[in-house]
Structure 1
Amino acid sequence: MLSSDNRKNVTPVDPSDLTIGDLMAALADCKDKPLVFRYGGRAVKPGYHVTEVKAGQFAALDCEANPESWSEIFVQLWDVDEGGPVHMPAGKFAAIIRKVSDHVALDQAAKLTFEVSDGVRPMELHRAAQPSVVGGVIEVELTPRPASCKPRDRWLTEQKAASQPCCGASRCC
Protein backbone atom coordinates (compact mmCIF):
# COMPACT_ATOMS: atom_id res chain seq x y z
CA MET A 1 0.00 0.00 0.00
CA LEU A 2 1.34 3.46 -0.86
CA SER A 3 1.77 6.00 1.89
CA SER A 4 -1.13 8.41 2.19
CA ASP A 5 0.73 11.29 0.55
CA ASN A 6 2.02 9.04 -2.29
CA ARG A 7 5.61 10.25 -1.84
CA LYS A 8 8.60 7.99 -1.63
CA ASN A 9 10.13 7.33 1.74
CA VAL A 10 13.73 8.44 1.62
CA THR A 11 15.59 5.79 3.55
CA PRO A 12 17.92 7.44 6.05
CA VAL A 13 21.42 6.11 6.50
CA ASP A 14 21.63 3.95 9.61
CA PRO A 15 23.55 5.98 12.22
CA SER A 16 25.85 2.99 12.73
CA ASP A 17 26.82 3.12 9.04
CA LEU A 18 29.75 5.19 7.86
CA THR A 19 29.24 7.40 4.80
CA ILE A 20 31.91 8.12 2.18
CA GLY A 21 32.00 11.71 3.50
CA ASP A 22 32.64 10.44 7.04
CA LEU A 23 35.42 8.16 5.81
CA MET A 24 37.13 10.85 3.73
CA ALA A 25 36.97 13.32 6.63
CA ALA A 26 38.49 10.75 9.00
CA LEU A 27 41.34 10.02 6.58
CA ALA A 28 42.13 13.68 5.78
CA ASP A 29 44.73 14.16 8.51
CA CYS A 30 46.26 10.68 8.26
CA LYS A 31 47.27 10.40 4.62
CA ASP A 32 50.66 8.78 5.31
CA LYS A 33 49.36 6.12 7.69
CA PRO A 34 48.62 2.63 6.33
CA LEU A 35 44.88 2.00 5.83
CA VAL A 36 43.85 -1.46 6.97
CA PHE A 37 40.36 -2.83 6.51
CA ARG A 38 39.44 -5.66 8.86
CA TYR A 39 36.72 -8.23 8.28
CA GLY A 40 35.99 -11.73 9.48
CA GLY A 41 38.45 -11.32 12.36
CA ARG A 42 41.45 -10.48 10.19
CA ALA A 43 43.05 -7.66 8.22
CA VAL A 44 42.98 -7.44 4.45
CA LYS A 45 46.26 -8.43 2.88
CA PRO A 46 48.86 -5.68 2.33
CA GLY A 47 48.41 -5.86 -1.46
CA TYR A 48 44.66 -5.23 -1.48
CA HIS A 49 43.25 -3.25 -4.39
CA VAL A 50 40.32 -0.90 -4.71
CA THR A 51 39.01 -2.46 -7.92
CA GLU A 52 35.82 -0.47 -8.37
CA VAL A 53 33.83 2.38 -6.87
CA LYS A 54 30.16 2.57 -7.84
CA ALA A 55 27.46 5.09 -6.99
CA GLY A 56 23.82 4.15 -7.31
CA GLN A 57 20.42 5.68 -6.84
CA PHE A 58 17.88 3.07 -5.83
CA ALA A 59 14.10 3.00 -5.89
CA ALA A 60 12.22 0.05 -4.44
CA LEU A 61 9.10 -1.14 -2.68
CA ASP A 62 9.49 -2.49 0.83
CA CYS A 63 7.62 -5.50 2.16
CA GLU A 64 4.53 -3.38 2.87
CA ALA A 65 4.62 -1.93 -0.66
CA ASN A 66 5.90 1.45 0.57
CA PRO A 67 8.10 3.17 -2.00
CA GLU A 68 11.68 3.65 -0.82
CA SER A 69 14.64 5.51 -2.30
CA TRP A 70 18.26 5.91 -1.29
CA SER A 71 21.72 6.49 -2.66
CA GLU A 72 24.54 4.08 -1.98
CA ILE A 73 28.24 3.94 -2.77
CA PHE A 74 29.99 0.61 -3.21
CA VAL A 75 33.74 0.27 -2.78
CA GLN A 76 35.05 -3.05 -4.04
CA LEU A 77 38.12 -4.41 -2.27
CA TRP A 78 40.13 -7.25 -3.79
CA ASP A 79 41.82 -8.93 -0.84
CA VAL A 80 45.07 -10.09 -2.45
CA ASP A 81 48.73 -9.91 -1.49
CA GLU A 82 50.29 -8.25 -4.54
CA GLY A 83 51.29 -4.80 -3.33
CA GLY A 84 54.28 -5.32 -1.12
CA PRO A 85 54.89 -5.56 2.59
CA VAL A 86 52.73 -2.62 3.72
CA HIS A 87 49.09 -1.66 3.37
CA MET A 88 47.96 1.17 1.09
CA PRO A 89 48.40 4.62 2.66
CA ALA A 90 45.18 6.41 3.56
CA GLY A 91 46.16 9.23 1.19
CA LYS A 92 46.28 6.84 -1.77
CA PHE A 93 42.84 5.47 -0.91
CA ALA A 94 41.51 9.04 -0.62
CA ALA A 95 43.11 9.93 -3.98
CA ILE A 96 41.33 6.97 -5.61
CA ILE A 97 37.99 8.16 -4.22
CA ARG A 98 38.70 11.74 -5.36
CA LYS A 99 39.58 10.52 -8.86
CA VAL A 100 36.31 8.59 -9.01
CA SER A 101 34.42 11.69 -7.85
CA ASP A 102 35.89 13.59 -10.83
CA HIS A 103 33.91 11.25 -13.11
CA VAL A 104 31.06 9.89 -10.99
CA ALA A 105 28.82 11.94 -8.69
CA LEU A 106 29.42 10.65 -5.16
CA ASP A 107 26.79 11.70 -2.64
CA GLN A 108 28.89 12.35 0.47
CA ALA A 109 25.95 11.34 2.70
CA ALA A 110 25.20 8.10 0.82
CA LYS A 111 25.11 4.73 2.49
CA LEU A 112 28.58 3.15 2.09
CA THR A 113 28.95 -0.55 1.34
CA PHE A 114 32.18 -2.47 0.87
CA GLU A 115 32.22 -5.46 -1.45
CA VAL A 116 35.09 -7.73 -0.41
CA SER A 117 36.48 -10.84 -2.09
CA ASP A 118 39.80 -12.61 -2.44
CA GLY A 119 38.96 -13.48 -6.04
CA VAL A 120 38.07 -17.04 -5.08
CA ARG A 121 35.30 -16.78 -2.49
CA PRO A 122 32.06 -14.99 -3.38
CA MET A 123 31.91 -11.27 -2.78
CA GLU A 124 30.63 -10.30 0.67
CA LEU A 125 28.78 -7.07 1.49
CA HIS A 126 29.99 -5.13 4.53
CA ARG A 127 29.34 -1.86 6.29
CA ALA A 128 32.14 0.12 7.86
CA ALA A 129 32.66 1.39 11.39
CA GLN A 130 34.34 4.70 12.20
CA PRO A 131 38.11 4.43 11.52
CA SER A 132 40.47 4.28 14.48
CA VAL A 133 44.22 4.68 14.81
CA VAL A 134 45.81 1.54 16.25
CA GLY A 135 49.58 1.48 16.59
CA GLY A 136 50.25 3.94 13.78
CA VAL A 137 47.78 2.25 11.41
CA ILE A 138 44.27 3.39 10.49
CA GLU A 139 41.88 0.49 10.94
CA VAL A 140 38.36 0.31 9.54
CA GLU A 141 36.32 -2.59 10.85
CA LEU A 142 33.97 -4.06 8.26
CA THR A 143 31.00 -6.12 9.42
CA PRO A 144 28.54 -8.06 7.28
CA ARG A 145 25.65 -5.92 6.07
CA PRO A 146 22.48 -7.45 7.52
CA ALA A 147 19.12 -7.54 5.81
CA SER A 148 16.41 -5.44 7.42
CA CYS A 149 12.69 -4.80 7.25
CA LYS A 150 12.25 -1.06 6.67
CA PRO A 151 8.66 -0.85 8.03
CA ARG A 152 9.77 -2.67 11.20
CA ASP A 153 12.85 -0.43 11.48
CA ARG A 154 10.66 2.70 11.17
CA TRP A 155 8.23 1.33 13.77
CA LEU A 156 11.08 0.58 16.21
CA THR A 157 12.47 4.11 15.70
CA GLU A 158 9.02 5.59 16.38
CA GLN A 159 8.60 3.43 19.52
CA LYS A 160 12.01 4.47 20.82
CA ALA A 161 11.25 8.16 20.17
CA ALA A 162 7.84 7.86 21.86
CA SER A 163 9.43 6.35 24.98
CA GLN A 164 11.94 9.21 25.36
CA PRO A 165 11.00 12.13 27.64
CA CYS A 166 10.32 15.22 25.56
CA CYS A 167 12.33 17.86 27.36
CA GLY A 168 12.30 16.97 31.02
CA ALA A 169 9.44 19.35 31.77
CA SER A 170 6.01 18.26 32.94
CA ARG A 171 4.64 18.70 29.44
CA CYS A 172 6.19 18.33 26.00
CA CYS A 173 7.67 21.32 24.24
Structure 2
Amino acid sequence: MLLTERTNWQTFKATLEQYPDLTLQFQYAQDQWVDASYHITEIKQAPIVSVDCGGIMNTWTEVIVQLWEPEQRDTERAMPVSKALSIVRLVEQSLPLNPIGIVKIEFGNSQFDTRQMYPGEFIISDGNLIVNLVPDYTQCKATGRGQTCGDTNKPKLQMINLAGAGQTCEPGSGCC
Protein backbone atom coordinates (compact mmCIF):
# COMPACT_ATOMS: atom_id res chain seq x y z
CA MET A 1 0.00 0.00 0.00
CA LEU A 2 1.66 3.22 -1.20
CA LEU A 3 0.91 6.23 0.96
CA THR A 4 0.55 9.48 -0.93
CA GLU A 5 0.18 11.73 2.09
CA ARG A 6 1.77 11.68 5.49
CA THR A 7 0.31 8.80 7.45
CA ASN A 8 -1.72 9.62 10.53
CA TRP A 9 -1.74 7.51 13.68
CA GLN A 10 -5.20 6.08 13.01
CA THR A 11 -4.16 4.78 9.57
CA PHE A 12 -0.81 3.46 10.83
CA LYS A 13 -2.39 1.57 13.73
CA ALA A 14 -5.24 0.23 11.57
CA THR A 15 -2.69 -1.13 9.09
CA LEU A 16 -0.85 -2.94 11.89
CA GLU A 17 -4.16 -4.34 13.18
CA GLN A 18 -4.89 -5.85 9.75
CA TYR A 19 -1.73 -7.98 9.86
CA PRO A 20 -1.05 -9.15 13.47
CA ASP A 21 0.48 -12.47 12.34
CA LEU A 22 3.12 -10.92 10.07
CA THR A 23 6.65 -9.89 11.05
CA LEU A 24 7.23 -6.12 11.26
CA GLN A 25 10.25 -4.87 9.31
CA PHE A 26 11.51 -1.36 8.56
CA GLN A 27 13.54 -0.31 5.53
CA TYR A 28 15.21 3.07 6.10
CA ALA A 29 17.09 3.43 2.79
CA GLN A 30 17.49 1.46 -0.44
CA ASP A 31 18.42 -2.09 0.66
CA GLN A 32 19.09 -0.86 4.22
CA TRP A 33 17.05 -2.51 6.96
CA VAL A 34 16.62 -1.85 10.65
CA ASP A 35 18.27 -4.88 12.25
CA ALA A 36 15.86 -7.70 13.14
CA SER A 37 16.80 -7.35 16.82
CA TYR A 38 15.32 -3.83 17.01
CA HIS A 39 13.17 -2.70 19.92
CA ILE A 40 10.40 -0.12 20.01
CA THR A 41 11.82 1.89 22.89
CA GLU A 42 9.14 4.55 23.16
CA ILE A 43 6.22 6.20 21.45
CA LYS A 44 6.14 9.96 21.84
CA GLN A 45 3.39 12.45 21.13
CA ALA A 46 4.61 15.93 20.26
CA PRO A 47 2.21 18.85 19.87
CA ILE A 48 3.88 21.34 17.51
CA VAL A 49 3.11 25.06 17.52
CA SER A 50 5.07 27.21 15.10
CA VAL A 51 5.00 30.56 13.38
CA ASP A 52 6.23 30.42 9.82
CA CYS A 53 8.24 33.01 7.90
CA GLY A 54 5.01 34.66 6.68
CA GLY A 55 3.92 35.29 10.27
CA ILE A 56 1.19 32.61 10.28
CA MET A 57 0.74 30.31 13.29
CA ASN A 58 0.57 26.56 12.55
CA THR A 59 -0.30 23.67 14.85
CA TRP A 60 -0.20 19.91 14.42
CA THR A 61 0.64 16.78 16.39
CA GLU A 62 3.28 14.17 15.66
CA VAL A 63 3.32 10.61 16.98
CA ILE A 64 6.91 9.40 16.96
CA VAL A 65 7.76 5.71 17.19
CA GLN A 66 11.39 5.28 18.26
CA LEU A 67 13.33 2.21 17.12
CA TRP A 68 16.60 1.09 18.65
CA GLU A 69 19.12 -1.51 17.50
CA PRO A 70 21.00 -3.10 20.41
CA GLU A 71 24.75 -3.51 19.90
CA GLN A 72 24.43 -7.23 20.53
CA ARG A 73 21.81 -8.97 18.41
CA ASP A 74 19.37 -10.77 20.65
CA THR A 75 17.22 -12.29 17.93
CA GLU A 76 17.43 -13.26 14.29
CA ARG A 77 13.81 -12.49 13.56
CA ALA A 78 12.10 -9.10 13.73
CA MET A 79 9.21 -8.62 16.10
CA PRO A 80 5.75 -9.78 15.11
CA VAL A 81 3.21 -7.08 14.40
CA SER A 82 1.22 -8.45 17.35
CA LYS A 83 4.07 -7.57 19.72
CA ALA A 84 4.25 -4.03 18.30
CA LEU A 85 0.50 -3.74 18.89
CA SER A 86 0.92 -4.86 22.50
CA ILE A 87 3.43 -2.04 22.97
CA VAL A 88 0.93 0.38 21.38
CA ARG A 89 -1.80 -0.78 23.77
CA LEU A 90 0.52 -0.36 26.75
CA VAL A 91 1.41 3.18 25.65
CA GLU A 92 -2.22 4.11 24.97
CA GLN A 93 -3.18 3.09 28.54
CA SER A 94 -1.16 6.07 29.78
CA LEU A 95 -1.06 8.36 26.75
CA PRO A 96 -4.09 8.71 24.46
CA LEU A 97 -2.52 9.17 21.01
CA ASN A 98 -4.05 11.69 18.63
CA PRO A 99 -5.64 9.69 15.78
CA ILE A 100 -4.82 12.43 13.26
CA GLY A 101 -1.28 12.91 14.56
CA ILE A 102 1.34 12.56 11.82
CA VAL A 103 3.41 9.38 12.29
CA LYS A 104 7.18 9.54 12.20
CA ILE A 105 9.61 6.72 12.81
CA GLU A 106 12.78 7.76 14.63
CA PHE A 107 15.83 5.62 13.94
CA GLY A 108 19.57 5.71 13.67
CA ASN A 109 22.58 3.43 13.99
CA SER A 110 26.36 3.66 13.60
CA GLN A 111 26.03 3.91 9.79
CA PHE A 112 22.93 6.09 9.66
CA ASP A 113 22.51 9.33 11.64
CA THR A 114 19.42 9.36 13.83
CA ARG A 115 16.50 11.06 12.15
CA GLN A 116 12.73 11.00 11.89
CA MET A 117 11.22 9.54 8.74
CA TYR A 118 7.71 9.03 7.42
CA PRO A 119 6.15 5.66 6.65
CA GLY A 120 6.00 6.02 2.87
CA GLU A 121 4.70 2.60 1.93
CA PHE A 122 3.52 -0.63 3.53
CA ILE A 123 4.60 -3.74 1.64
CA ILE A 124 3.48 -7.32 2.35
CA SER A 125 6.11 -9.81 1.30
CA ASP A 126 7.04 -13.34 2.45
CA GLY A 127 5.23 -13.14 5.79
CA ASN A 128 6.48 -9.61 6.51
CA LEU A 129 4.79 -6.26 6.85
CA ILE A 130 7.51 -3.95 5.60
CA VAL A 131 7.33 -0.27 6.43
CA ASN A 132 9.34 1.56 3.79
CA LEU A 133 10.53 4.82 5.36
CA VAL A 134 11.00 8.06 3.46
CA PRO A 135 13.00 11.08 4.65
CA ASP A 136 11.44 14.06 6.35
CA TYR A 137 12.00 17.32 4.49
CA THR A 138 11.87 21.01 5.14
CA GLN A 139 9.31 23.17 3.44
CA CYS A 140 8.22 26.79 3.26
CA LYS A 141 4.55 27.04 4.19
CA ALA A 142 4.37 30.59 2.84
CA THR A 143 5.05 29.43 -0.72
CA GLY A 144 2.04 27.11 -0.43
CA ARG A 145 -0.06 30.23 0.18
CA GLY A 146 1.42 32.03 -2.82
CA GLN A 147 3.76 34.13 -0.64
CA THR A 148 7.49 34.18 -0.17
CA CYS A 149 9.36 34.03 3.10
CA GLY A 150 8.75 37.19 5.10
CA ASP A 151 5.97 38.35 2.74
CA THR A 152 3.17 39.42 5.02
CA ASN A 153 1.68 41.91 2.53
CA LYS A 154 2.76 44.85 4.65
CA PRO A 155 3.38 48.16 2.90
CA LYS A 156 7.01 48.88 2.10
CA LEU A 157 8.69 51.79 3.85
CA GLN A 158 9.89 54.61 1.67
CA MET A 159 13.27 56.03 2.63
CA ILE A 160 13.81 59.76 2.12
CA ASN A 161 17.26 61.32 2.39
CA LEU A 162 16.67 64.65 4.10
CA ALA A 163 20.36 65.31 4.62
CA GLY A 164 20.87 65.70 0.87
CA ALA A 165 18.60 68.74 0.86
CA GLY A 166 20.76 70.54 3.41
CA GLN A 167 18.56 69.51 6.33
CA THR A 168 19.72 67.63 9.38
CA CYS A 169 17.76 65.39 11.65
CA GLU A 170 18.10 65.69 15.41
CA PRO A 171 16.90 63.00 17.85
CA GLY A 172 13.41 63.79 19.10
CA SER A 173 12.69 66.25 16.27
CA GLY A 174 10.21 63.95 14.56
CA CYS A 175 12.05 63.83 11.25
CA CYS A 176 13.68 60.42 11.87
Whether TM exceeds 0.5 here: the answer is yes
Q: Is the 8 A contact 1:54 1:75 kept in 2?
A: yes
Q: Does residue 56 of structure 1 match 2:22?
A: no
Paired residue for 2:139? 148
Q: Deviations over 1:51-73 (max 9, x none)?
A: 11110111110111101111111
2:16 is matched by which residue type in structure 1? L
Gaps of 5+ in 1: 1-13, 157-173
2:45 is matched by which residue type in structure 1? A
1:101, 1:59 → 2: CA distance?
23
Give the C-alpha shift of residue 83 in structure 1: 3.4
2:74, 2:19 → 1: CA distance?
20
Gaps of 5+ in 2: 148-176
Q: Is the 8 A contact 1:23 1:131 kept in 2?
A: no
Q: SS of the residue aligned with 1:97?
A: helix
Give the C-alpha shift of residue 29 in structure 1: 2.6
Paired residue for 2:22? 33
2:92, 2:144 → 1: CA distance?
31
Q: Is the 8 A contact 2:104 2:118 kept in 1?
A: yes
Q: Aligned residue pairs: how many?
A: 143
Q: SS of the residue aligned with 1:21?
A: helix
2:110, 2:88 → 1: CA distance?
22
Q: SS of the residue aligned with 1:107?
A: coil
Q: Identity across aligned pairs (percent)?
A: 24
1:87 is matched by which residue type in structure 2? A
Report the CA distance shift for 1:46/1:67 in structure 2 as closer, same or farther (over 3 A): same
Paired residue for 2:63? 73
Give the C-alpha shift of residue 124 in structure 1: 1.2
Q: Does residue 86 of structure 1 match 2:77?
A: yes
Paired residue for 1:165? none
Paired residue for 1:133? 124
Paired residue for 2:35? 45
Q: SS of the residue aligned with 1:129?
A: strand
Q: Is the 8 A contact 1:18 1:130 kept in 2?
A: no
Give the C-alpha shift of residue 142 in structure 1: 0.5
Q: Deviations over 1:95-116 (max 9, x none)?
A: 1112111111200111111110
Q: Is the 8 A contact 1:23 1:130 kept in 2?
A: no
